[in-house]
Each structure stands twice: as structure tokens, then as C-alpha cells.
Structure 1
């Protein structure tokens, strides 16, 4: 058995947590002994430990490991990761997300781990921090890349971005997409009507949904400003905000100020996403920065057309005018125009766009595909180091 340690800063609601839990469970257990190491979720975030429990994955927790830079906790987290790696003696350490990528790879190098792999699920090189802090993070990532054996990006566009920032080399930076359990979304048509009954709306009411954490980088303010414009032409439309986070109260106040509170419904964190996608007419994404957004993969797998800001790997998922419409980031008017455009099209035309989207993401981003591609990469790295693959 080949021991693998997988590190992620926290199992908060989102694609990286789903990805790492499923990969820990499903990476060929006949060949790899996988251990998931993670930190703590902040009180304002949803926790996906329930998914780990459902999948039979028992993480090793390091309470001091989290997303934010904390000068008191980070050295403790580093020391605990180092000691745990010395105990586990993995052949491969695979890190996910920025903080775990920095502390995990440094600790693994110090612990003498033979193979180091890091996955960028997104990046923090714009729309997150000040220019000075961003340059510091870039310098750290460029250094870490030099002693990483492989760097994984989750879309072709993201690979171009990472190389463009001077991180790694074309030979070292690979592209392997996300892996998700998509079958429930592919089959969600049988759940149609569930959400409409909950909301007490008829099937003639347009439902436009955005599924994302309520944090600045997701750009919900632009979604609300677009909703105000769309509501002038489609006054019965409902705009569903699925997710929670630090901006909840601010966004609710913004909806009130825009005088669209009657059109906007905050649903909070939900675990019944197939039921929600089943009744949506359009899936929306207004992010300022993205890797490969899970909400678009799920929504497209559910057969829904999308309107999304054209950032990161979004253009690798949404084919403009074929499976949805792409708009510039931070442009509320363009976002509103695209939503109105889709709402004016016939249900059959929207359905056909949804089917194109489904064919784009399924089975390409199904977890079984990811597990096979990661296994092939690990084998390649093991062979290159002269380490047995059995």
C-alpha cells in the first residue's frame, strides 16, 4: 500500500471540500492508504464534515489550521503537521488550498516526504488582498513550486493563469478537473416541483438561483443590482440566494435598499441541492475570481442554462450562446441583459442549452474520472522517483 496524506485548510461548504473528501474515499483503496488532514471551519461558514461522515472518511484535525494568516496559530499548525507526517510517513503529500499548500508542503519537505503535489482550486492573486500582500503570496507560491513535483490546476484557463504568474513550469503544471458526485444532479428532473411547493410559487414563476458563499469575491452585490433591473421587466421573477456567510445581513439590507426584497429569497445553506436545481430556470454566478466553480458544474449537470461572469475557469464550463451566456465581471447591466435574454427565450430553447451544458460536464467532472486521472499522475511521479507503484 502506498500511503498518501491529503491536506486542506478546512472543510467549509464548497468545491475543494467535496473534492478532497471524495478523492480520499475513492482513490483506489486497493493501492493507496489515504489520510485526510484538515483544520477548523469558522463560525460564519458551513461545515461539510457531514459529507466526510457519510463517505466513511475520518479526518485528522489540526485545530490551529485555518484559512486566515494567524501568527500565533500558524507555527503551531506547522509543527503539528510536521509531527503527524513523521508519524504517518506518507510517500505522497497532496495539498489543497493556499494555507494548507504552504504549511503542508514546507512540513512535508522538512519531514523528508518523497513526492509533493499541490492543487490550485482557485487563487488569491487578485480580488482578495492588497497589491503588496498579493506580491508576497506570489513570491511564496513561486518558491513552493520549485520543490513541488506536480502542480494541478482544475481548468485550462486556470493553468494559463498560474503559468502567467510565473508559478511552476509547463512540464510541472498539470490540468486535472474537479471530481464530483454528479449523478444526483443528472437525475434531478424527477424532483421538479419540490422547491416550488416550498416557496409556494407556481411553475410559471421564473426562478434564478445563485449558489455560493456570501463573501465579497462571489460578487452578490452585482447579482442583486442585476435583479433590480430584471424585475422591472419580469416582476414575478424570484432571485434565490443559496448559501450563507459573513455578508448575509449586508446583502439583505442591500435588497431592501434596492426595493426588491419581495423578489429575493435567502435560503441559507442547503444540503438538498438536487431539489433546488431541479426547479431553477437559470443558474447564475457573479464572481470576481473563480477556479472551476462547483455550482456551475452541478447546475449544468442538472440541465440548466447559466449566466456567469467570465472569470477564471468559467469559460471552460459555459459555452457562450450554447449552454449559457458569459458576461464581464462587475457589470450589473450586462448581467441583467443576459438574464433577460434567457428569460425571453422559449422554455424549449433553454432546455436545449441545458442539455449542451450537461454534455459538457458529465461524465468529464464525475468523481470516477478524477480518481483515475490522479492515480495515473501518482504512478507517473512514483516511477520518475524510482519508487515501487505496488
Structure 2
């Protein structure tokens, strides 16, 4: 089975990254994996051979407006695949649709974000355009892989003619045992001894993550719990603006930004709670990682909320954008050790996933469904 994958995750060129390692695993259940990644020519990325049967090709585009054209240019030079798999139903979806027609092979669409959320549509002009691209691409797919039941339900509601049998719910694989058994190399309380309680966030600092809401909540939280710290791990386009906002609110002693850290297990295990404030999310892997580490979570009603996180059992869920409810959830968690311990026990009991071999079997089945 030869698979042509089209996407935009440039971490695939980093052989040590988790996403690159996943592609190598996927190649073990196929004969060949050719991956074309949207990339600017200024990045000077080179064709990378991850293993004997996995090769990653950059589009090397002069402009993002040429991504689709350049993906076609690169892909048509490759051997004919058995199917085309795209990592989103947007720009990648369009490129994959064209390549599927060019080679005369079926299309698999993967969906990692909740594109049917009204917050997704309102987020930007680009998202509005992407929404309408997806409305064209999704019905053209022979099979669809989504990362949460939330996305599956929203697709079936919007596209009633799509057969439920072609939609497979399969989150990104996670090595739970690695997180559970990880040693604590960095204790947040030793690193930041000024804080009695530590709230952790780990996220791209982008608009849809709504970090502003967390910062606004801290204004109220520190009034009741002045020795509370919010540690935000991540990078992104909003970093500088958020820093100025924190200073403007006089929270620079309570809100600390760190760059991205690939090994978050120690952070999860030494924080009092993990916080997610996204306006929309496909799954929210950091939430599942936190639960695996035994850390109570407070999250907006997105992604795996209601599916993995059950309100009051292994976390607390608040409505998207609701500042008062968020403040209430945080203060409730910090002020009630018994509740926090109960939720922590719930977190340790609730998280589960198939082992790696079973996961790869399910992943291969998604390709077989595409082939019909």
C-alpha cells in the first residue's frame, strides 16, 4: 500500500520529533509513505528520508498562496499512490482533491479541529474561507478520520448524507505509560518557590487559544489566593501582546511565560491544576496528558470535554469564554483540597487508550476503508 500524505506540519522534517516518529510507525503498516508538506522556500527545507519507506518533501513555495500549486508540482513527480490522505479539509484538502483526481485514487480526509464551531468561523477571514473549502472537500472524501466524537457528531449534523460508517474516531496516539512513569526532573514548586499553588497552561499562543481569558481570570484569582502562579508554556504570534497585557494588569509577578518545552511530564506532575481556555479545539492532547499524569484539569467546553473529561469526576468544565464560570472553577479547585484530590483520583482512573499495535491496526483500517 503506497500512501501520499499532504499536510502542513513542518516538524516532520525533524527526525527526533514525535510527529516524525509517528510517520515512521505508520510506514510500518504500509509499503511506502510519501509526505508533501506546505513550506516556504525561505525555510530552505530539504527532502528528508525518515526511514527506508518514508520520505518527506517540502513544497518550497515562494508564497503561501502557491502552496496548493507547489504541492501538486511535487506530488505529480512521485510514484502513483493507492490513496491520498490529507491532514485537514482546507488547503491540504484542496491539494489532495486535485492529486486524487490526477492519479485516479480515493481521498481520505483527516480533521483535527472543530471546524463546525461558530468560534472557528468567527476567528478570522481565513477560517471563513477554510470553512467553505471544507464544505466542498468533505463530501468528496471516501473516508474521514476525526480525533473526537465531538467532531464526528458535528459532521453528521451538518452533512446528513454522509454515511456514519466512513467516519472513524481515532485521536493522535499517545504513550500513556511514558508519561505515567516519567521521573520529575523539574519541580515547578522548586523552580518558582514564591507560589503556593501553580496553574499550568501549555499551548500555542494564538488567538483561538484565548489566553486572554486565563489572564483575566488571574486578576480575580489572586485577590483570593495571592500566592498563586500561572505558568504558560508555549510560543506563538500572541506572545508579545500577551506580555504587555499581563504588565498592564499588574500581574507580572503571578503570570510567567516560558518557551515551549517538549517534555512536559514534570510540569504536569508538579502543578496543582492544568488549564485550557480555547475557543475551539479538535481534541486537546495536553488535557489528556495532564489527566494521565494525575493532574486535575479545568477546561472550556471544547475538544474532549464530555468525552474524556467528565465534569466533576476528573475535571471541571466551563462554557467557552465565560470568565465568571472560569474564575469559579479555579477558586473552587484551589480552595477545596478534598475536591481536588477526588478529581485527581478520577483523572487517574478515567484515561485509557489502546496499545500501540492496536492503534496502528485501527489506523490501517482507516486506509482500508478509503480503498473500499
User: TM-score category by the smaller chain?
Assistant: 0.7 to 0.9
Unaligned runs of 5+ in 1: 44-48, 385-390
The 10-residue stretch of structure 1 (118-127 or 278-287) with the greater mean CA deviation from structure 2:
118-127
Matched, 1:3 2:9: no
What does residue 187 of structure 2 align with?
Answer: 194
SS at match of 2:274: strand
**C-alpha separation in 2, matches of 1:30 and 1:175:** 19
**C-alpha separation in 1, matches of 2:128 and 2:246:** 35
The 10-residue stretch of structure 1 (137-146 or 148-157) with the greater mean CA deviation from structure 2:
137-146
Alignment of 1:1-390 (within 5 A): 2-11=1-10, 20-27=19-26, 29=28, 31-40=30-39, 59-64=56-61, 70-71=64-65, 73-84=66-77, 87-125=78-116, 126-129=118-121, 136-166=129-159, 168-188=162-182, 190-191=183-184, 194-199=187-192, 201=193, 205-346=196-337, 349-364=339-354, 367-382=356-371, 384=372
CA shift at 1:159, angstroms?
Answer: 0.7
8 Å contact from structure 2 (residues 114, 303) kept in 1: no
How many residue pairs get aligned? The number is 361
CA shift at 1:180, angstroms?
Answer: 2.0
**C-alpha separation in 1, matches of 2:165 and 2:143:** 9
SS at match of 1:88: coil
**TM-score, normalised via structure 1 length:** 0.82
* Larger relative contact order (CA 8 Å, sep ≥ 6): 1
SS at match of 2:164: coil
**TM-score, normalised via structure 2 length:** 0.85
Structure 1 residues 186 and 369: alpha-carbon distance in aligned structure 2, compared to 1, 3 A threshold: farther
**C-alpha separation in 2, matches of 1:96 and 1:335:** 32
The 10-residue stretch of structure 1 (373-382 or 244-253) with the greater mean CA deviation from structure 2:
373-382
**C-alpha separation in 2, matches of 1:38 and 1:132:** 23
Question: 1:220-267: CA deviations, max 9, x gaps?
Answer: 000001111111111111101110111111111111122111001101
The 10-residue stretch of structure 1 (23-32 or 90-99) with the greater mean CA deviation from structure 2:
23-32
**C-alpha separation in 2, matches of 1:288 and 1:120:** 17
8 Å contact from structure 2 (residues 108, 367) kept in 1: no
SS at match of 1:89: coil
CA shift at 1:157, angstroms?
Answer: 1.3
CA shift at 1:77, angstroms?
Answer: 2.1
Unaligned runs of 5+ in 2: none
8 Å contact from structure 1 (residues 65, 77) kept in 2: no
Let me know the Cα RMSD of the aligned residues. Answer: 3.2
SS at match of 1:7: strand
**C-alpha separation in 1, matches of 2:316 and 2:211:** 18
